[in-house]
Structure 1
């Protein structure tokens, strides 16, 4: 399997991912793909050749190996890595579809015309595609962990297994090659898969919460705009005092209608004359 080509394809998903998505890709490459290529393949190697039974009965070792190892760990992990990364290509194909629509739209309406502000921005259908890919990846991870747990009984690899399958003459003892080393790598790959599940769940929560906050802010802004429009359309809120020039330009009939009805009572002022007393009469 050409893991370099596989890594080059997945690197294109990195620029469309969130922070959790970038961490997920790093975990997949460093803790799963690299460990698989560098160490895990060499540890397992030709595992059937290292499976020894204390009998020379032809076919007994093969039947016992198939009974205890119906599918190899290394092949199961290879399938898991392929299936778990396939949903990420859904995002890349959706962005490519947007780029093609943008190219056709510009060819039809001119170079300055735009159908999308940013074809790689997670809005509209691309947001749903990205969210569905996260759910699919999480489901695949859980499914492969269940298969591994179901087949190998809690991810445990014993040193000795007892086999009584036909054509074995009786209950024979079979020994697994490098059991401790295989057990360590099994637990490590299971832990890395569990970490990827946690990162996918965190990314799902992050995307949904961010979308909810954006919708709530949009509804708040819409409510404020409606209130402002209602205030501006109210005729009583738009009354403005008339200037003197506008009052002069009004017809006399209209001026009379705006005359105040309250009349100020006139005050009659009488002058009081003070006369000097007649002093001649007093003498």
Structure 2
């Protein structure tokens, strides 16, 4: 029982926010592929969580605090699935020209919520601090039901340097020249800690794909659906015996798509990550 419960924990994608129900029987035991595509549910496509666009909001330029929550289920052999929420918080500066949007974002926080797990995946400060700033483009344009906020797919790779971030295979061997000690802790890839019934460290390379689709519900708030996909390769573990425990577990999307969402709240231009984190408990409510 101890082995099976732990195997489920190790299957978590740590930067991405979702998973794929497709069978991965032919995949390597140390790689977890996850994904959830589509345009998303907020703003009219998912009746249970659709939002109504505020008709007087026509420009979303400015400084914003962003919080994305991806919900997924992890299934270990012989056990019921449990839910994990992966949360990313960013500071975003956004410009709008006509219908076109461009933005720059900096990670302020990145963590998991898995209250039902007996072994928790903990993202260290060094992991969060090593996440690169992002640049994205999208639109805030007329659609059925009002103006719709959309950001196209963004691929983020951590723990590896790929020529094609969207298509290249992730390295599976820590000796692969593409592996990068991105968090600079002396271990390959990025380090994730395990705490609980069993303690240890997992060194990973990962690719995440995110896509946003929502509406401005007020002049100072945008809400919507987070589309996502992620793929993770375990390079090494400490102790080494943990690597074998990846076999037999899988992750897949939370069937309630309204559980994977994003919120953006307009903040003062002088706001920084410290300002956002200090108010995070109430800022996104």
Q: If the TM-score is normalised by the length of the shorter chain, which range does it land in? A: under 0.3
TM-score, L = length of structure 2: 0.18
Q: Which has the higher strand share?
A: 2
